[in-house]
Amino acid sequence: MPIKVQSQLPAIKILESENIFVMPEERAMAQDIRPLKIIILNLMPTKIETETQLLRLLGNSPLQVDIELLQMATHTSKNTSSEHLTHFYKTFDEVKDTKFDGMIITGAPVELMDFEEVDYWDELCTIMKWARKNVYSTLHICWGAQAGLYFNYGVRKYQYEEKLSGIYNHKILQPLHPLLRGFDDGFEIPHSRYTGVVREDIEKQQNLEILADSDEAGVSVVCSKNGREFYVLGHAEYDFDTLAKEYFRDKNKGLDVKLPRHYFPDDNPYKKPPMVWRSYATLLFTNWLNYYVYQQTPYDLEDLKKLYE
């Protein structure tokens, strides 16, 4: 089944070339079906690239998904044109009276700042608080996961001595959990971050459980026991060359960065990295949509309020 997006979104041509079923909103309006309503809060500077990555994964589900893109009103993007944001994105004031089946909060390149120092932190807190009563299940990614764990549970982040960047192997700690259904005992996904959380802080929270971790990358997938919140510390959505782009970007800035680990063949940055996490990324997003959005969300989204009565 398709994902429904605004006509003319740049991602459409790329996804259609990959045989991802994308339905313009005009066609979707003619269908008598209740699609899943997903809102994506895109905090990444490379917004068009991130849109394409996430829509590719959401479009691999047999479910019809209605997408809204959300930007921060209190932050001015330096890497995406104002025309693109104005045309395709909404602000919180425009969606706050709407309810959604699911929400995705992306990462952001602000890890080395304290949460409260981020210029849109107050607005993000407002959105995360709003999501508790207006979104059934929220998927937090990378810095978005750290921000969500901090806001919802007071779990702090810790800065590493050097950037954690590469493709890391993970082991599943809850093999029967629906989010990881179909995964092998070990799986690989990219990480790209300067900070992370520690197991001891997560284990102190009775409502949280760790689903997967890595000997090198640490705690990687966390969820609330009721399935309403998921925290993925890595970037399963990344393309094969995203880490390479980040590496060369930082090198060109004169930063002292190391090669992403387990990524370039023979550690040669001029060789094409293999895409070894595509199937796991697809399963992760499909399982989230199927088991924690589609099967559990009330048909009438107004019934979300009953969860708090």
Concerning whether 125 is annotated as a catalytic residue, the answer is no
Q: Which of 140, 170, 191, 235 is catalytic?
A: 235
d(CA 277, CA 143): 20
Tokens of 165: 């960047």
Nearest to 41 by CA among 164, 167, 126: 126
d(CA 4, CA 144): 24
Nearest to 103 by CA among 54, 59, 150: 54
Residue 174 backbone class (left: φ over 0; alpha: ψ -120 to 50; beta: rest):
beta
d(CA 85, CA 222): 31
Other Cβ atoms less than 10 A from the Cβ of 227: the count is 18
Other Cβ atoms less than 10 A from the Cβ of 113: the count is 14
Could you tell me how many helices (H) and strands (E) the chain has, helices first?
10, 12
Q: Which of 49, 51, 229, 237 is catalytic?
A: 237
Q: Which of 142, 170, 191, 229 is catalytic?
A: 142
Concerning whether 237 is annotated as a catalytic residue, the answer is yes
Q: Is the dihedral of CA 286, 44, 48, 7 positive or negative?
A: positive
Helix or strand run (H / E) with residue 138: strand 135-141
Q: Report how far Cα 146 is from the mean position of its chain's Cα atoms.
A: 12
Concerning whether 142 is annotated as a catalytic residue, the answer is yes
Tokens of 237: 């959505």
User: Annotated active-site positions, please?
Assistant: 142, 235, 237
